[in-house]
């Protein structure tokens, strides 16, 4: 037996808390999403409760949750990025714990469903899902649909790109690696009158579930124009998400970055 069991126990509890705190993106083998039935779950304010779902083909996934407290429901890709129309905080029937989403999965593969708590420290819930494989809904895969698939950009060099919402290209991911520490600023600018209303998000490589900073400020009175700034260390990688601010984004934009030491 250990000579200091209370200390050992405390350390184990601390380690468990650290693991739980990072559970949103690094959960060990999340439970399978219950299909055609409901299952009981629990969520705490420390981390979302995550389920996994493997689609064999494109199709439609519907998920419903009923919780005692106010929760949100989100369907994400395997990097933890919400799918278009994949987030719900609708508070159905006037109850913050009732949420439902129905989302098109554009290709087979791994997906995640997250139940996150908005109110209080802990809540029990019921969750259930339905799946209809609909291979005809498959769309050409957006090559930079996830952060880890985006092109690497050089600081100081301007880059022109475009979105095409009808073709399933609702956002573009890029990465920028800082060679020195300093303040990294990324800006978006319109290319022409057809440039879409954009939002800009910056993520640090250790936290892909939520942005460090988001801009939808429509600078200079232009809905395309955005700017976001984040402090970086030497060698740090920052992921950049360019996305439609609303609806179905289609059109060209220009992106540039600068680093002030």
- How many residues touch Ca ion under the rule CB under 5 A: the total is 13
Among 49, 172, 174, 241, binds Ca ion (CB under 5 A): 172
Interaction with Ca ion in 4-63: which residues (CB under 5 A)?
none
Of the ranges 12-20, 70-78, 148-156, 236-244, which one interacts with Ca ion (CB under 5 A)?
Answer: 70-78
Task: Answer yes or no whether residue 197 interacts with Ca ion by CB under 5 A.
Answer: yes
CB of 38 to Ca ion, least distance (A): 18
Among 77, 79, 169, 201, binds Ca ion (CB under 5 A): 169
Task: Answer yes or no whether residue 79 interacts with Ca ion by CB under 5 A.
Answer: no
Interaction with Ca ion in 208-237: which residues (CB under 5 A)?
216, 218, 223
CB of 168 to Ca ion, least distance (A): 8
Task: Answer yes or no whether residue 89 interacts with Ca ion by CB under 5 A.
Answer: yes
Following DSSP, what letter does each residue of 174-190 receive, concatenated?
A: EEEE-SSSEEEEEEEEE
Among 106, 144, 201, 251, binds Ca ion (CB under 5 A): 144
Task: Answer yes or no whether residue 142 interacts with Ca ion by CB under 5 A.
Answer: yes
Cα separation of 252 and 161, whole Å? 6
Task: Answer yes or no whether residue 68 interacts with Ca ion by CB under 5 A.
Answer: no
Task: Answer yes or no whether residue 245 interacts with Ca ion by CB under 5 A.
Answer: yes
Task: Answer yes or no whether residue 161 interacts with Ca ion by CB under 5 A.
Answer: no
Between residues 80 and 150, which has the closer beta carbon with respect to Ca ion? 150
Judged by the rule CB under 5 A, the positions of this chain that interact with Ca ion are 70, 89, 91, 96, 142, 144, 169, 172, 197, 216, 218, 223, 245
């Amino acid at each position: 037996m250990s000579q200091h069991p209370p200390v050992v126990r405390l350390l184990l509890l601390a380690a468990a808390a650290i693991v739980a705190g990072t559970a949103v993106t690094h959960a060990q083998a999340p439970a399978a999403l219950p299909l055609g039935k409901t299952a009981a779950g629990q969520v705490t304010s420390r981390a979302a409760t995550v389920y996994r779902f493997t689609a064999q083909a494109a199709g439609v996934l519907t998920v419903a949750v009923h919780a005692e407290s106010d929760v949100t429901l989100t369907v994400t890709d395997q990097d933890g990025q919400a799918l278009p129309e994949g987030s719900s905080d609708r508070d159905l029937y006037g109850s913050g714990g009732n949420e439902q989403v129905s989302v098109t999965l554009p290709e087979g593969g791994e997906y995640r469903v997250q139940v996150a708590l908005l109110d209080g420290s802990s809540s029990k819930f019921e969750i259930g899902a339905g799946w209809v494989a609909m291979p005809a809904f498959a769309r050409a895969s957006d090559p930079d649909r996830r952060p880890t698939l985006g092109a690497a950009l050089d600081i100081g060099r301007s880059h022109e790109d475009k979105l095409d919402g009808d073709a399933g290209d609702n956002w573009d991911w890029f990465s920028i690696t800082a060679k020195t520490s300093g303040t990294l600023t990324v800006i978006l600018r319109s290319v022409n009158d057809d440039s879409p209303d954009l939002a800009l998000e910056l993520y640090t490589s250790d936290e892909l579930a939520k942005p460090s900073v988001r801009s939808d400020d429509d600078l200079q009175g232009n809905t395309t124009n955005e700017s976001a700034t984040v402090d970086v260390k030497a060698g740090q990688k920052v992921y950049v998400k360019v996305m439609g601010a609303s609806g179905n984004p289609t059109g060209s934009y220009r992106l540039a970055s600068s680093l002030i030491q």
